[in-house]
Amino acid sequence: MSSIIQQAIRAKKASRLLAVLDSATKNDALHRMAGVLEHSSDVLLSLNREDVNDACEQPLASAALARMTLTPEKLQQMAVGLRAVAALEDPVGKTLLRSELDDGLELKKITSPFGVIAAIVEARPDAVTQLCALALKSGNALMIKAGAEIRRTTSAILAAFVKALESTAIPANVFTNVEGREATHELLALQDYVDLVVPRGSAELVRFVFANTRIPVIGHAEGVCHIYVESSANQEMAISLILDAKTQAPATCNAVETVLVDQAIAGEFLPTLFERLRSAGVKVRGCAATRAICGPDVELVDATEWHTEYGDLTLAMRIVPGIDTAIEHIEKFGSHHTDCIVTEDQQAASCFLRSVDSAGVFHNVSTRLADGYRYGFGAEVGIATGKLHARGPVGLEGLVTYKYVLSGSGQCVKEYVGPNARRFTHEAAESSVMA
C-alpha cells in the first residue's frame, strides 16, 4: 500500500471525526491557527524567500513569482482571513428542508461535509491557508499537494497549523501535506478516499486535473473576463472601472482581459481610454478599427488571440456594432468567469445580465470584485465556472453536500400500498437553522 493511500485512509478517518464537531471547537481552532501564523511570521517569510530565490532560477512567469511571494502584509491578511472564516455561520447541519410525510414521519434535508478534499496548488501560499480554513470550518479533511516552487512555504504553514491544533479536539491528520513527484497522479486516482478535488493554479493545471480524475472537481481553467462599454455608458466611470480591472492586480483570474466598445461612442471614448491605459503602463492590442482610432501604438490582435488570459498589463480591445455582437463575442471567446457591462440604460443592462452565461455577470462594477472574500464568503477555494454543483466564488456553502434524514416510528411501505393504503400528507414544516 502506497504512502499516499495510507495518508488518505488517515484523512478519511479524521474527516468522520471532524464532521461531528461543534462550531465553537472549529472556531477556536481557526483562531489558534491565525495566532500561530502571526507568531511564526519570521520563519515563514524566511522559508518563503528561499522558495522565491529558487524559483527565480527557473523559467517561472513574473505573475507566478508575484503570487508566491509572501510579505508581512500578505501574511497578516492571511491571518485576518482565518479569523473571518471563524466568524462565519457554520455550514454544517443546516436544515434546508423539513417536511412531515405522515403523522410521525418527518423528512429533513440537512447539510453535511463532503469528507476529504484534495487540493492541487501552484505558487499560491495564501491559497493554502484559505483552503485549510474553509475545509476545517466545513468539516472536511484536506490533503494538499503543493507545487515544488512553494514546498518549503507550504510545509511550514501546515506544520504551524498542526502544532496549533495539538491541544484542541480537532483530529490529527485533518491537514495532510502530500509530497513527491508522482503524488499528483496518485492523489487524483484516489476516488475511493477523496470526495472532491480543488485545483488552484494555471489553466494547464486545471485542464490536467479535469482530464485525469474521476473525482468531482471545483475549478476554472481560465479567466478571460470582459468589460463591454455600451453607448449610454458614463465614460469616466467606464475608464475608472477598466483601469481598476486591468491594473489593480493584473495576474488574477478576475482581471479584465478584453474591452468591447460600442461603435457609437468609439471615436470619442477610445482616444481618452487609450491614453489613460498607456499612462498606467498597459499595452493595448486591438482590432483594425481600434488601431485606426488610437494609432500605430496599438498592436493588431491575431484572430486566434481573443480567447487569451494575458495575466499581465496587456489588454485587448474591439469595437462592436452593439450589444448583440458584444454578447456573441463573450459567448465565443469568454471563459464563463466574470463579464461586465457599463451602461446607463437599464434595458441594455437587463439584456446583458440575462444573456451572458458566466458565473459572474456585472453591471457598472469592476470585474475584480468577483471574489469570495468581497462577497462576504470569508474566503474562497476558487471560482467555479461549471454549473454543477457550485458556481462562482466557492466558499463554505460550496464545500458541503446534503443528506436526507427520515425519522419515524416503525412505518413500512406496506402501509402505503393497496386499497386501504395510508396517504402521505407531505406537509411542509418550519425549518430549523441547525439539525
Q: Count up the domains in the chain and report the number.
A: 2
The pLDDT tens digits of the residues spanning 16-44 come to: 999 999 999 999 999 999 999 999 999 99
In this structure, how many other beta carbons lie within 10 angstroms of the beta carbon of residue 32? 20
Same domain? 138 vs 160: yes
The three cell numbers of residue 115 are: 469528507
List Cβ neighbours of 410 (8 Å cut-off, separation of 6 or more): none
The pLDDT tens digits of the residues spanning 347-360 come to: 999 999 999 999 99
Lowest mean pLDDT among 116-130, 140-154, 159-173, 387-401: 387-401
Same domain? 28 vs 73: yes
Residue 386 binned pLDDT confidence (cut-offs 50, 70, 90): confident
Q: Quick one: how far is CA 269 from the chain centroid?
A: 34
Confirm whether 184 is domain-assigned. yes
- Per DSSP, helices labelled H in 340-391 are 346-355
Same domain? 144 vs 285: no
Confirm whether 395 is domain-assigned. no
Which of 221, 239, 266 is where one domain is finished? 221
CATH no. for residue 283?
3.40.309.10
The three cell numbers of residue 174 are: 485533518
> What's the average model confidence in pLDDT over 42-48?
97
Instruction: Please tell me the predicted confidence (pLDDT) of residue 282.
Output: 98
Same domain? 156 vs 178: yes
The pLDDT tens digits of the residues spanning 416-425 come to: 999 999 999 9
Phi-psi region of 351 (alpha: psi -120 to 50; beta: other; left: phi over 0): alpha
Confirm whether 430 is domain-assigned. no
Which of 185, 206, 221 is where one domain is finished? 221
Same domain? 157 vs 242: no
**Residue pointed to by grid coordinates 493595448:** 284
Confirm whether 307 is domain-assigned. yes
Same domain? 152 vs 42: yes
Same domain? 161 vs 148: yes
Give me the domain span that covers residue 10: 3-221
Same domain? 168 vs 284: no
Same domain? 205 vs 247: no
**Residue pointed to by grid coordinates 462577497:** 375
Instruction: Please tell me the predicted confidence (pLDDT) of residue 433.
Output: 53
Which of 369, 386, 401 is where one domain is finished? 369
| Residue 60 DSSP SS3 | coil
The pLDDT tens digits of the residues spanning 246-278 come to: 999 998 899 999 999 999 999 999 999 999 999
Same domain? 167 vs 284: no
pLDDT at 63 exceeding the cut of 80:
no
The pLDDT tens digits of the residues spanning 100-110 come to: 999 999 999 99
> What's the average model confidence in pLDDT over 118-146?
95
CATH no. for residue 43?
3.40.605.10
Same domain? 316 vs 339: yes
- Per DSSP, helices labelled H in 109-202 are 125-137, 151-164, 183-188
